[in-house]
Amino acid sequence: MNSFKTEPDERVGELIEELDFHPLTAKIYVKYNGKCAYCGLDLLETTVKYHSGTIDRILPKSKYPELEWEESNLTLSCFSCSDLKGEYDVLESNPENALELLANHQENLIYKIKNELSKRMQTVENERIRVKRIIRGYNKAG
């Protein structure tokens, strides 16, 4: 059934050669199948979603500048998740074995970030509902 699909390495090569993607960016897009690693948003579904796609650093470059271009520190994200995450440090410190943790426990780190982002997203959701009621004029009880 999938016999006509290209292999992941070929896809990476096509993105680099045909669309001038940075090699790391191409690898990350293919690895995550064009979906946000945190919320699962399909960044290839619409133009707006595609435009919100960004390469996110699991460990923020402000605290881990040495890992800025480390492949295991890169992930695909939508703008919203990346923005909400900000400088959040899932390790809550700057351990010497950060690179080893990325290499061996990347999925676990992403899982922890997802939990933090869903809390932060709930705060945004509560605000959105209140703002909507005010702006649309439905804020008076009764």
Which spans of this chain sit near Zn ion (rule: CB under 5 A)?
36, 38-39, 41, 78, 81
Q: Which residues pair with 42 in a beta bridge?
A: 35
Contact criterion met (CB below 8 Å) for 21 and 66: no
Residue 80 contacts by C-beta under 8 Å, 6 or more apart in sequence?
39, 41, 52
- Residue closer to Zn ion by CB (options 39, 99) is 39
Closest separation in Å from C-beta 124 to Zn ion: 12
**Three-state SS for 19?**
helix
- Residue closer to Zn ion by CB (options 13, 34) is 34
Half-sphere exposure (Cβ direction) of 119: Cα atoms closer than 13 Å: 7
Closest separation in Å from C-beta 7 to Zn ion: 27
- Residue closer to Zn ion by CB (options 33, 97) is 33
Closest separation in Å from C-beta 119 to Zn ion: 14
In angstroms, the CA 109 to CA 37 distance is 11
Closest separation in Å from C-beta 77 to Zn ion: 6
The residue ranges of DSSP E strands in the chain, in sequence order, are: 53-57, 74-78
Contact criterion met (CB below 8 Å) for 59 and 102: yes
- Residue closer to Zn ion by CB (options 48, 135) is 48
Closest separation in Å from C-beta 116 to Zn ion: 13
